[in-house]
Amino acid sequence: MKTLGKFLFLLSFSACCFSNSLTYLKNNTPYNSHELETIKAYLFANIATQEHVFSKAVEGQVIKSLPGAVLASPSYQDTTFFQDYQFHWVRDAAITMDEVTTLYDLASQKEKKQLHTYLENYINFESLIQKQHGEESLGEPKYNIDGSVWQGPWGRPQYDGPALRAITLIHIANSLLKQNEEDYVHSTILPLIITDLDFVMNKWQEKAFDLWEELNDTDHFFTKMVQRKAFVLAANFFNQMNDPAHAQNYQAVAAKLSHSLEQHWNANRGYVTETIHQQFYKGGGLNAAIILGALYGNLEDPNDPFAINSNRVMNSIYYIRHGFKHLYRVNIDNHYNPPLLGRYPSDVYDGMNDTYGNPWFLTTHQLAEYYYTLTNYYLNKKAITITADNFLFFHQVNHQFFSKPEVISFDRNPARFYQAISELIQQGDDLLHASKKYTACYNTYSCTHMSEQIDRKQGEQVSAKDLTWSYATLLTAMQTRLKDL
Ligand code: NOJ
Ligand code: NOJ
């Protein structure tokens, strides 16, 4: 009896103080709610609606945006930036609209009405571009903001776009089903999903450009991870829709993709490689795209070999961080901080003369989101298992705290478990604080702007301005942080 009483006391004590200490972290966030509202406003500023119309002058003609066009950035060729980002990229748009759908899920009924227009506009825009020029349309990486085909030279085709779009469309469909919009989902969204997935089913083994639009080859990790996720989600979704025939087909492709993904694990190097036939060229080897693949392709199955808690992905994080740590002046100057990430170490893309590559906001935000996602997994599991096979990962986080393989369990040692959780959250927070330091003010009232890249020497913003994807990744990371608390 006495022991039981003591046990119960200890249990309630640890439960109270465990959650209290996390409450402290929950309230002390890298971005406060006011700042997050500003970031949302910047993201929406890049999405065309019926009222918010963009005009673009191209070779003496004016192109006006259609509602639903998502500009990658408002930047358009000038003396400091040679690129034109005023396009609707299928990849960037799907990722952005997935975040908008999450905002819709979290919104009050009143706000939902306004956000509903964004979802509908996106669906109409995608429906138009899917039909533009037959099957080839689906491998097009980007479109004009009026939905017409852009015919300039580019790295095409790209096969991650239709998969990411299917993921977002399934998310939208599930959200709208909760609002009793069965008819709309069936008549309008379902056919778009089927079109994308049928296409990917036929093409996934063929050559295409990677997400950074540079390597034309088969077997890109990021692309396969998001393709597999699309098929897994679709299999569940079509079962739920009483369409087992489609569901079965999708399940079968997902299994093939899982098999094919195995080749990306490079045991000799100890990390996952992005493009298996180009491991010594550009981003073919070590690449922040591995983190994006693990997150955008996350099946939320802890036993998946590429799960966020897998030794493969955890070791890859170790090597990716290592690869960027001494690469940029801004990281060397802040060596006590986890490093800002670029795309891959030998990158030279800067939007101008390809002088040198730089850290990017979006890859850095994804690394932060990675730590937050992993923390949520451990909080659920109530134990952190450190073994010889993932030790490097923990050692990199804090070599004093994580000094040996062990199991840190909530039941046995809540204080230590809590401390370990804080260490992981702190990695994410340090990354977001670091990238926040490099946000820009356009004037006194307009701060926390984010471009695509941060100059590796001085930290000023370079490349495309107000990159939509930079904002989307910041919002998603912040939503993931201590999400279930
Ligand atoms: C090469 C860059 O690395 C890529 O990301 C970019 O989209 C294209 N050039 C086009 O500018
Ligand atoms: C270049 C990036 O490499 C690519 O992934 C992105 O889609 C475009 N910029 C547009 O943001």
Q: Is the CB–ligand 1 distance for residue 214 below 6 Å?
A: yes
Atom of ligand 1 nearest to the CA of 212: 5
Cα 231 to Cα 142, 165, 255, 309, 471: the distances in Å are: 23, 12, 9, 21, 27
pLDDT score, position 22: 84
Give the highest mean pLDDT range of 7-21, 122-136, 183-197: 183-197
Token digits of residue 208: 């295409």
Residue 15 has pLDDT above 90, yes or no: no
pLDDT grade, residue 37 (50/70/90)? very high
68, 144 contact by CB (below 8 A): no
pLDDT score, position 349: 98
Token digits of residue 331: 């990281």
Shortest CA distance to 418 belongs to which of 385, 378, 373, 388? Answer: 378
∠ CA 35-39-42, nearest 5°, is: 140
Q: How far apart are CA 206 and CA 218, in angstroms?
A: 6
Shortest CA distance to 392 belongs to which of 320, 315, 308, 325? Answer: 315
Residue 21 has pLDDT above 80, yes or no: no
Mean pLDDT calculated for residue range 206-221: 98
Q: Is the CB–ligand 1 distance for residue 83 below 6 Å?
A: yes
Q: Between the CA atoms of 61, 66, 68 and 71, what dihedral angle is there, to the nearest 10 degrees?
A: 10
Residue range 111-121, pLDDT digits in tens: 999 999 999 99
pLDDT score, position 18: 57
Q: Is the CB–ligand 2 distance for residue 469 below 6 Å?
A: yes
Shortest CA distance to 195 belongs to which of 117, 276, 132? Answer: 132
Residue range 323-337, pLDDT digits in tens: 999 999 999 999 999
355, 411 contact by CB (below 8 A): no
Residue range 231-271, pLDDT digits in tens: 999 999 999 999 999 999 999 999 999 999 999 999 999 99
pLDDT score, position 20: 63
Shortest CA distance to 91 belongs to which of 145, 141, 35? Answer: 141
Mean pLDDT calculated for residue range 41-58: 97
Sequence-separated contacts (24+) of 397-400 with Cβ below 8 Å: 397/423, 397/424, 397/427, 398/423
Tell me the average pLDDT of the chain.
95
Atom of ligand 1 nearest to the CA of 351: 11
Q: How far apart are CA 91 and CA 451, in angstroms?
A: 18
Residue nearest to atom 1 of ligand 2 (CA): 212
Q: How far apart are CA 438 and CA 473, in angstroms?
A: 16
Residue 7 has pLDDT above 60, yes or no: no
pLDDT score, position 347: 98
* Residue the block writes with tokens 């079965």: 248
| HEC assignment per residue over 158-190 | ECCHHHHHHHHHHHHHHHHHHCCCHHHHHHHHH
Residue 76 has pLDDT above 80, yes or no: yes
Q: Is the CB–ligand 1 distance for residue 213 below 6 Å?
A: yes
Mean pLDDT calculated for residue range 379-383: 97
Task: Pick the ligand that lies closest to the CA of residue 82.
Answer: 1
Cα 386 to Cα 270, 383, 412: the distances in Å are: 17, 10, 15
Q: Is the CB–ligand 2 distance for residue 72 below 6 Å?
A: yes
Between the CA of 178 and the centroid of ligand 2 the distance, in Å, is 33
Shortest CA distance to 146 belongs to which of 210, 214, 71? Answer: 71
pLDDT score, position 9: 46
ω into 338 cis (within 30 of 0): no
Mean pLDDT calculated for residue range 35-48: 98
pLDDT grade, residue 485 (50/70/90)? confident
Token digits of residue 199: 């296409």
Counted residue by residue, the chain has a size of 485
pLDDT score, position 16: 52
Residue nearest to atom 7 of ligand 2 (CA): 92
449, 42 contact by CB (below 8 A): yes
pLDDT score, position 13: 47
pTM score of the predicted model: 0.96
